[in-house]
Structure 1
Amino acid sequence: MAKKEFSIDQGFEQLDDILKKLGSEDVKLSDAVKLYSEGVSVVKECKDSLDQVEKELIILNENGEENEV
């Protein structure tokens, strides 16, 4: 099965939802641990996505293409 394309915007939305759930007074400890783990995974995907964009910008810059960040 192919891996679903990651969207950084969706990642930020997921993190926002996770934070809201973690802030709930009704969250159980076991659920909080699962949410935290999920959040760490989403943060890693966001970081990897941003790193990839940075690499692409460096390659463009090295090829002499004009770009502004």
Structure 2
Amino acid sequence: MAEKKTKKEAEQELSLEEAFTKLDQLLEKLEDREIPLEESFSIYKEGMDLLRISRGKIDTVEKKMMQIDEDGELSEF
């Protein structure tokens, strides 16, 4: 039987492009003046979670682009 992924696990598997697209969609929702305050807080929290995940992915890529050479010097990949 296949396990159902949690929302957090699904967000962790998003590519950066997918996360940015989702952030754009959330921004559009927040720009709607008719959105209830409680819903806007929920959307804001979801956006902050996506930003945190995206930041982590970017940091991982940056670290992979740097490597230490034989002399112990840090150089770009």
TM-score category by the smaller chain?
0.7 to 0.9
Do structure 1's residue 54 and structure 2's residue 54 form an aligned pair?
no
> Which TM-score applies when normalising by structure 2?
0.73
Aligned residues: 65
Cα RMSD over matched residues?
A: 2.1
Of Structure 1 and Structure 2, which has the larger fraction of its residues in strand?
A: 2
Which of structures 1 and 2 has the larger relative contact order (alpha carbons within 8 angstroms, sep 6+)? 1
Partners of 1:20 and 1:8 in 2: CA distance: 18
Structure 2 segments unaligned to the other structure (5+ residues) = none
Identity %: 26
> Which TM-score applies when normalising by structure 1?
0.80
Of Structure 1 and Structure 2, which has the larger fraction of its residues in helix?
A: 1
Do structure 1's residue 19 and structure 2's residue 27 form an aligned pair?
yes
Pair member with larger Rg: 2
Structure 1 segments unaligned to the other structure (5+ residues) = none
Partners of 1:35 and 1:54 in 2: CA distance: 28
